[in-house]
């Protein structure tokens, strides 16, 4: 497993910890604060008062109030304003901005500004600047140009965080902290190399262990000492090295964020939560590890091409909810369009509202737009905003104001509720990285493959928890791991216990092939789970044409990937076989299942076509006794259930362009939205309350 702090930064961490109140008590208090937020649904915007004359602020805030907002996020890029020269701090303007926001009824989230260091720092201390893999040092003028490994930068970053926390850490108007902004790009400078070597030493203890785990007898890669190991993210390097590079970036970024979190927590009221905002399917670090010591997950949901694919986007929300297995914040989303893809199409009328409700349905307790008004200059002049350069609303303002109105009406019904996950899916960063490093078939995209399974499972079950492999799975009757490529012995043991205890574990292709040093398991797939399965993968094949499948799951085909299975235990059932194809596959088992203890394990060695996967999902859910809350939901209808705190509610969205009539459970009471006489219009949303007695399902 990834280590959380190491070497140089461990010393810094320990010094900061000495000042902090006991972590457990602090976390408990923060959790209590989260359980009872001041406003159950925060709706608001990123506001950059530093970009505008102060005389304008009152007008901006009045327009936010008029839109029904209750939250603003401030200061995340304002470092040059807060520390105009080294060690000289100016918070007076921010005092006034917070006071003005509060007077307008807004709660405040403060961002630490460390994604945008000031020019004086780059000039005086060029060693803080990031170095890319080719050795080029970043220059000033953009953002994220710092090195995550620079001790000097870490010092500056924790100091500004501490100074802000000293000033606002006990301020009742400030509810929480966002650390940095979308951390991500690593650095390859000399300090990063020193940390890399310290990281490897901590992970492996001795160079002999590293040599063994990475099989460095291959191509004469044997290392005499840790200092010889190059710092590399890609290229023709050892798969063990490349996967450990990801572990290293995880550890370094986590430590970077935690250094600021510790600085804040050392002086702040535990009522204030601490988060960092992340990006969709970002592969830069393990997000479960990053969130272990944060209070809250938050993320930035953008639909770059303006064409929402609601199931794919829902998977992303569920992934984020899985980081802490708790509700999250949507820290940023677009008012209409972005400005960073080739065609920055705006969402259709009504879809910005749909996306807000989708976030809430999947567990967001906040929806914040980026941004309020486009700066007159700067890199993002073309991005969607709520106000134009003239300071008056764009057409999207009214749609977002409606989100705020609906949210206020729905808040009492949703307070203290969380999404109900009826089954679980496992998403593993190690597995994703290891496959991405060696796809073997260009189109074996682990996120696409995960989403292909998520689609039918989610649309039939109407509630999926996306979880790390180490999560407690006991409450889920069905756990699907579309591609658990990397699995440790300890994880395999836990999964085996889940199966023996009565769960159904379904493994997709390439599962159980590697260990956490990215080495092949010496057993055939699924490696440490092969004995439990009573079968093993004989061989895998990348396909350039689909291969036919027949069996009890129905007829269909597999594209991209095919594995032939060999049953070894007598009680293994063959679910599906290959039809005539390349000769190697013909007639061989493609999917097998076996009852073990009180449960079952199934291995599916293919990437089935959509119809087949849907049929299979239906069978798995039927067998698990999982039925949808709203039966026969048409493809455009998204049904999201939130329950808890004695409440149960459904969020419904018609993502399509024609009206629908959802078959609601008896006794459902519309709380807010567009449902009229049982009809949900095109792009309509609705929140309906159900009586808790209708639940019969726990708050998961
Ligand atoms: C986000 C970023 C924001 C803004 C936005 C534009 O990734 O956090 O600061 O740049 O993109 O879409």
Q: Looking at the predicted structure, is the pLDDT value of residue 697 above 80?
A: no
Encoding tokens for residue 215? 């099989």
Residue 488 in any domain: the answer is: yes
- The response to whether 181 counts as a known ligand-binding position is yes
Whole-angstrom distance, CA of residue 131 vs CA of residue 136: 5
Residues 573 and 616 in one domain: yes
Question: How many Cβ atoms sit within 10 Å of the Cβ of residue 635?
Answer: 10
317-320-324-325 Cα dihedral, nearest 10 degrees: 30
Q: Is residue 583 part of a domain?
A: yes
Residues 382, 344 contacting (CB under 8 angstroms)? yes
Mark which of 624, 648, 675 sits at the end of a domain: 624
State the closest ligand 1 atom to the C-alpha of 279, by its place in the atom list counted from 1. 7
Indicate which atom in ligand 1 lies nearest the CA of residue 181.
8
Contact 60, 72 (CB under 8 A): no
What is the Cα–Cα distance from 268 to 623, expressed in whole angstroms? 50
pLDDT band with cut points at 50, 70 and 90 for residue 694 = low
Confidence (pLDDT) at 40: 79
**Residues 591 and 655 placed together within one structural domain of the fold:** no
State how far the Cα of 75 lies from the Cα of 160, in Å rounded to an integer: 12
Residue range 578-597, pLDDT digits in tens: 999 999 999 999 999 999 99
Q: Read off the pLDDT of each residue in 607-617 and give the average, rounded to a whole number.
A: 97
Mean pLDDT of 560-583: 98
Q: Are 150 and 191 within 8 A, CB to CB?
A: yes
Query: What does the alpha-carbon distance between residue 437 and residue 623 come to, in Å, rounded to a whole number?
Result: 36
Q: What pLDDT is recorded for position 291? A: 98
Residue 56 known to bind ligand:
no
Asked if the model's pLDDT at residue 10 lies above 80, the reply is no
CB 369 near ligand 1, within 6 Å: no
Q: Is the pLDDT of residue 432 over 70?
A: yes
Which residue reads 């996020």 in tokens?
73
Same domain as 574, residue 532 = yes
Ligand 1, atom 6, residue with closest C-alpha: 338
State how far the alpha carbon of 432 is from the alpha carbons of 501, 593, 609, in Å: 28, 24, 21
Q: Are 332 and 300 in contact (CB under 8 A)?
A: yes
**Global pTM value:** 0.94
Q: Is the CB of 116 under 6 A from ligand 1?
A: no
Residue 465 parent element (H or E) = strand 464-467
Regarding whether 668 and 616 lie in a shared domain, the answer is no
Tokens representing 20 are 């902090």
Residue 182 Cβ contacting ligand 1 at under 6 Å? yes
Find out whether the beta carbon of 332 lies less than 6 Å from any atom of ligand 1. Answer: yes
Q: Is 148 in the pocket of ligand 1 (CB under 6 A)?
A: no
How far is it, in rounded angstroms, from Cα 479 to Cα 464?
10
**Does residue 196 have its Cβ closer than 6 Å to ligand 1?**
no
Do 619 and 641 reside in the same domain of the chain?
no
Instruction: State the pLDDT confidence band at 4, using cuts at 50, 70 and 90.
Output: very low
Q: Phi, psi at residue 650, to the nearest 5°? A: -115, 140
| 340 CA closest ligand 1 atom index | 12
Q: What is the pLDDT of residue 693?
A: 58
Q: For ligand 1, pick from 300, 331, 337, 345 the residue to mutate: most ligand atoms within 8 Å of CB.
A: 300
- Per cent of the chain over pLDDT 70 is 93
Are the C-beta atoms of residues 450 and 482 closer than 8 Å to each other? yes
| Alpha-carbon dihedral 329, 334, 336, 340, rounded to 10 degrees | -150
Q: Residue 28 pLDDT more than 80?
A: no
The pLDDT score that the predictor gives to residue 6 is 36
What is the distance in A from the centroid of ligand 1 to the CA of 326? Answer: 24
Q: Based on the fold, state whether residues 678 and 566 are members of the same structural domain.
A: no
Q: Which atom of ligand 1 approaches the CA of 338 most closely?
A: 12
154: how many CB neighbours lie within 10 A of its CB? 23
Distance 586 CA to ligand 1 centre (A): 50
Q: Of 624, 652, 673, which closes a domain?
A: 624
Residues 645 and 597 in one domain: no
d(CA 495, CA 602): 12
Instruction: Please give the biggest Cα pair distance in the chain.
Output: 80
Query: What's 296-330 look like in SS3?
Result: CCEEEECCCCCCCCHHHHHHHHHHHHHHHCCCEEE
Task: State the average pLDDT over residues 365-388.
Answer: 97
Residue 199 alpha carbon to ligand 1 centre in Å? 31
Query: Which residues, including other chains, have CB under 8 Å from residue 255's CB and lie 6 or more apart?
Result: 4, 5, 6, 9, 13
Residue 242 lies in a domain: no
Query: Ligand 1 pocket, 300 CB below 6 A?
Result: yes
pLDDT 10s digits, 165-187? 999 999 999 999 999 999 989 99
357 is in an annotated binding site: no
Domain that holds residue 564: 423-624
Q: Which residues are catalytic?
A: 182, 332
Q: Is the CB of 370 under 6 A from ligand 1?
A: yes
Q: Dihedral of CA 332/333/334/340: which sign?
A: positive
Quote the number of domains for the chain: 2
- Cα–Cα distance list, 416 to 40, 173, 364 (Å): 8, 21, 12
**How high does pLDDT run on average in the chain?**
94
Residue 209 forms part of a structural domain = no
Residue 655, in any domain of the structure: yes
- Which pLDDT score, from 0 to 100, does residue 81 have? 98
Atom 3 of ligand 1, nearest CA residue: 370
**CATH code at position 657:** 2.60.40.1180
Mean pLDDT value across residues 305-313: 98
Domain shared by 680 and 581, yes or no: no
User: What per-residue confidence (pLDDT) applies to 335?
Assistant: 98
Phi, psi of 57 (to 5 degrees): -55, -45
Residue 294 within a domain? no
For ligand 1, atom 5, which residue shows the shortest CA distance? 370
Pick from 624, 647, 663: which residue ends a domain?
624
State the distance from the centre of ligand 1 to the C-alpha of 275, rounded, in angstroms. 16
Q: In terms of domains, do 593 and 655 share one?
A: no
Q: How far apart are CA 634 and CA 680, in angstroms?
A: 12
Cα of 149 vs centre of ligand 1, distance in Å, is 23
Q: Is 238 exposed, middle or buried (0-12, 13-18, 19+ CB in 10 A)?
A: buried
The alpha carbon of 220 and the centre of ligand 1 are apart by a number of angstroms equal to 45
Q: Whose CA is nearest to atom 10 of ligand 1?
A: 380
Pocket probe mutation, ligand 1, options 370, 371, 381, 383, max atoms within 8 Å of Cβ:
370
Q: Does the beta carbon of 76 sit less than 6 angstroms from any atom of ligand 1? A: no
What is the whole-number distance in angstroms between the Cα of residue 410 and the centre of ligand 1?
Answer: 28
For residue 220, being part of any structural domain is answered with no
670 and 562 co-located in one domain: no
Q: Which helix (H) or strand (E) holds 278?
A: strand 277-279
> Which DSSP state fits 106?
-
Per-residue model confidence as pLDDT tens digits over 217-266? 999 999 999 999 999 999 999 999 999 999 999 999 999 999 999 999 99
Mean pLDDT confidence for 555-583? 98
Pairing of strands 573-578, 547-551: antiparallel
User: 606 and 654 share a domain?
Assistant: no
Residues 551 and 684 in one domain: no
- pLDDT tens digits along 145-171: 999 999 999 999 999 999 999 999 999
Q: Is 562 among the domain residues? A: yes
List pLDDT tens digits, range 64-100. 999 999 999 999 999 999 999 999 999 999 999 999 9
Q: Which residues of 315-340 are buried (b: 16+ CB within 10 A; e: fewer)?
A: bbbbbbbbbbbbbbbbbbbbbbbbee
Cβ–ligand 1 contact at 380 (below 6 Å): yes
CATH number where 551 lies: 3.40.50.880
Mean pLDDT of 643-654: 96
Q: Is the CB of 338 under 6 A from ligand 1?
A: yes
| 212 confidence band (pLDDT: 50, 70, 90) | very high
Distance 182 CA to ligand 1 centre (A): 8
Q: Which two tokens stand for residue 9?
A: 């930064």
- Nearest Cα to Cα of residue 304 among 269, 337, 271: 337
700 has a pLDDT exceeding 60:
no
Tell me what the mean pLDDT of segment 461-487 comes to: 98
């Amino acid at each position: 497993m990834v280590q959380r702090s190491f070497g140089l930064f461990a010393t810094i961490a320990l010094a900061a910890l000495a000042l902090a109140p006991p972590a457990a008590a602090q976390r408990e208090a923060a959790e209590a604060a989260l359980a009872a937020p001041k406003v159950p649904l925060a709706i608001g915007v990123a506001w950059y008062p530093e970009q505008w004359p102060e005389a304008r602020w009152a007008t901006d805030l009045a327009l936010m109030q008029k839109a029904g907002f209750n939250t603003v996020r401030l200061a995340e890029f304002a470092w040059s304003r807060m520390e105009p020269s080294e060690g000289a701090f100016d918070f007076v303007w921010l005092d006034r901005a917070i006071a003005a926001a509060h007077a307008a009824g807004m709660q405040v989230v403060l961002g630490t500004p460390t994604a945008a260091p000031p020019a004086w720092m780059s000039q005086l201390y060029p060693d803080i600047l990031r170095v890319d893999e080719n050795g080029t040092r970043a220059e000033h003028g953009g953002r994220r140009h710092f090195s995550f490994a620079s001790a000097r930068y870490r010092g500056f970053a924790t100091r500004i965080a501490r100074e802000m926390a000293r000033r606002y850490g006990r301020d009742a108007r400030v509810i929480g902290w966002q650390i940095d902004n979308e951390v991500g790009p690593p650095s390859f400078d000399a300090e990063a190399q020193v940390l890399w070597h310290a990281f490897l030493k901590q992970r492996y203890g001795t160079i002999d262990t590293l040599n063994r785990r990475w099989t460095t007898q291959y191509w004469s890669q044997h290392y005499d000492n840790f200092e010889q190991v190059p710092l590399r993210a890609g290229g023709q390097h050892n798969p063990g090295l490349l996967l450990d590079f990801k572990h290293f970036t995880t550890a370094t970024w986590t430590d970077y964020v935690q250094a600021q979190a510790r600085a804040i927590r050392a002086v702040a009221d535990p009522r204030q939560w601490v988060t960092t905002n992340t990006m969709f399917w970002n592969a830069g670090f393990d997000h479960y590890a990053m969130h272990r010591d944060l209070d809250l997950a938050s993320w930035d949901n953008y639909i770059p091409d303006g064409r929402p694919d609601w199931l794919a986007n829902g998977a992303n929300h569920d992934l984020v909810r899985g980081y802490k297995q708790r509700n999250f914040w949507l820290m940023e989303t677009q008012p209409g369009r972005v400005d960073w893809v080739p065609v920055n199409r705006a969402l259709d009328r009504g879809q910005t509202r749909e996306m807000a409700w989708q976030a809430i349905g999947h567990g967001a307790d906040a929806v914040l737009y980026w941004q309020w008004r486009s700066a007159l200059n700067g890199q993002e002049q073309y991005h969607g905003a709520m106000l134009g350069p003239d300071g008056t609303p764009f057409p999207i303002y009214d749609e977002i104001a409606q989100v705020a109105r609906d949210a206020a009406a729905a808040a009492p019904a949703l307070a203290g509720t969380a999404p109900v996950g009826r089954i679980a899916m496992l998403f593993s960063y190690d597995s994703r990285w290891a496959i991405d490093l060696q796809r073997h078939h260009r189109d074996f995209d682990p996120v696409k493959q995960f989403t292909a399974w998520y689609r039918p499972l989610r649309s039939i079950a109407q509630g999926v928890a996306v979880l790390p492999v180490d999560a407690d799975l006991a409450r889920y009757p069905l756990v699907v791991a579309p591609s658990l490529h990397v699995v440790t012995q300890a994880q395999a043991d836990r999964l085996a216990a889940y199966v023996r205890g009565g769960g159904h574990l379904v493994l997709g292709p390439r599962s159980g092939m590697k260990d956490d040093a990215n080495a092949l398991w010496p057993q055939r797939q699924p490696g440490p789970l092969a004995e439990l399965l009573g079968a093993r993968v004989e061989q895998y094949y990348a396909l350039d044409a689909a291969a036919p499948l027949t069996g009890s799951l129905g007829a269909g085909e597999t594209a991209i990937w095919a594995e032939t299975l060999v049953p070894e235990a007598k009680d293994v059932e063959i679910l599906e076989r290959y039809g005539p194809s390349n000769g190697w596959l013909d007639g061989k088992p493609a999917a097998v299942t076996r009852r073990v203890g009180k449960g079952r394990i199934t291995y599916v060695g293919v990437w089935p076509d959509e119809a087949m996967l849907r049929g299979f999902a239906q069978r798995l859910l039927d067998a698990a006794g999982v039925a949808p809350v709203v039966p026969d939901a048409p493809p455009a209808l998204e049904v999201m259930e939130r329950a808890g705190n004695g409440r149960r509610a459904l969020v419904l969205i018609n993502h399509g362009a024609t009206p629908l009539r959802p078959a609601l459970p008896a006794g459902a009471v519309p709380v807010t939205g567009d449902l009229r006489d049982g009809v949900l219009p095109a792009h309509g949303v609705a929140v309906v309350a159900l009586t808790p007695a209708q639940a019969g399902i726990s708050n998961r």
